[in-house]
Structure 1
């Protein structure tokens, strides 16, 4: 089976993002320029692709998915801007370009991230869905972005940094128990990385008016995909180079961050990636929908080189 051509969906997402962002010629120009620098910089657009793939699999038309696709990407881009700040990961390179705080300054980067986050929620209110579904979409994005999702995961990641994967996230069990530490690490990334990827799938499911059974299978797929995405990311940090990755390689080890290779080793991390791939394939096999694009995105996550 030929791989789907995702270029049209990426083009739709780029157009929706361009349309949503403020005019760079209007004041405050520096803030508007920083927002655009943080968004229109050639990202993979995995989250918008998941919105389109899920929604269209359930019969939604592409135009009904544009607002949700752009909104979840705006939240992702805001998180990257803040994640790169000196107070967080202190990175100078993102998607092959200077990070926003390097290209502009720290204060502008903070404001740009804040503005992108609020713009995402404003944009989602315009989604062409019944009011109750728009409210459900807003709730999903809020949960995925906040303490029960991305922000909570980032806080756990900060707590774990410098402990080389040996961090104790809990005061209840022994930190020397590797199985316990693996569960903690998976929880961290289910929040930090997985929540927004799952949100993208859920937004597409809401737009496509998924049945409860379909939604449950899509959640199983999305949970495995989010964890697979992070494991592959961790492996690329030790196997890749900055030119290919578009960001600084080797920083996880340098900062003694809690990663899957640090905890399990590279071979066991690859084995876990294979297990998660099987979970995704099984969930999609049970889904009564056209899942070709979702299968292809699962393969991309597992096999990607950047």
Structure 2
């Protein structure tokens, strides 16, 4: 167990993040696509504020590295990665709204509804959600039509009512009635884990992997998705707003049930180690090709922000 990421992983994460940032910058420009009438200036400013703000781009990283296991072309993977980041950023913009988590800070900057207004933040999220599917479906994402369809369908299910959006609904309900342990695990698998699982599966879809390989990457995604949420809850309980770049201690303040509040900090740290071991075991058949994803699992579990 280590809380220090390997230099190779840090370089890869930064390199992929820069590539995704460049792709997003182009996609979120004033340039109109066929069929578009106009891109309102204020809305575009709000979208770019919510997306181009220095995030780690971890989910895109997982797509790119999972696709690399199958020697898949980087350009298509990069566009799918950018699409997933649009979904992720839309979810953050909406989660931060007063009607949801009511946050003022995101990645150390004012949240979109604070920097602009609530209505603009809602529309920015709506725009990013729909644009994500446009990006994948576009012929510019140079994959077969059947592959793009599979990516779109899988993303819709990961992001929608049976995935991330449904998980946010459960999270809001948890402020009123604390769920039991099984309920917490389901909530976290939906709200956080679904998109992380998708990121890993998407790489296998892009790479035309076998059903078995796709399922294996999905299992890996589920393991690190749970690790991500456990680490997030641990940070919320033990860190501060300056370190996190967002408010800390919000779960306790809201009275939300988490596995950390249920079992304690030491139990959570042991679970994180177990999830990293599980992730490494899942990746074993890929040999050295899976090294970067193994580093990602450690980074997710032992991150400090």
Instruction: With the length of structure 2 as denominator, give the TM-score of the two structures.
Output: 0.92
Question: 1:157, 1:258 within 8 Å by CA — same for their partners in 2?
Answer: no
Trace 1:271-290 onto structure 2 (pairs within 5 A).
271-287=270-286, 290=289
Match of 2:101 in 1: 89
Q: CA deviation at 1:24?
A: 9.2
Structure 2 portions without partners, runs of 5+: 1-5, 33-37
Q: CA deviation at 1:277?
A: 1.1
Question: How many residues were matched structurally?
Answer: 291
- 1-structure distance, mates of 2:30, 2:240: 35
Q: CA deviation at 1:289?
A: 6.8
- 2-structure distance, mates of 1:289, 1:157: 38
Runs of 4+ in 1 over 4 A off after TM superposition: 24-27
Q: CA deviation at 1:288?
A: 5.7
Match of 2:121 in 1: 109
Match of 2:155 among 118, 122, 141: 141
Deviations 1:190-237 (A, max 9, x none): 000000011111111111111122112111111000000000000000
Match of 1:56 in 2: 68
Deviations 1:238-296 (A, max 9, x none): 11111110101111111111212111111111121122111101001123671111111
Q: CA deviation at 1:90?
A: 0.3
My pick for the range that moved more, 215-224 or 113-122, is 215-224
- 1-structure distance, mates of 2:286, 2:166: 31
Instruction: With the length of structure 1 as denominator, give the TM-score of the two structures.
Output: 0.91
My pick for the range that moved more, 284-293 or 42-51, is 284-293
Deviations 1:118-140 (A, max 9, x none): 11110011221111000000001
1:3 is aligned to 2:8: yes
- 1-structure distance, mates of 2:260, 2:65: 30
Match of 1:245 in 2: 244
- 1-structure distance, mates of 2:98, 2:7: 43
Structure 1 portions without partners, runs of 5+: 168-180
Match of 1:171 in 2: none
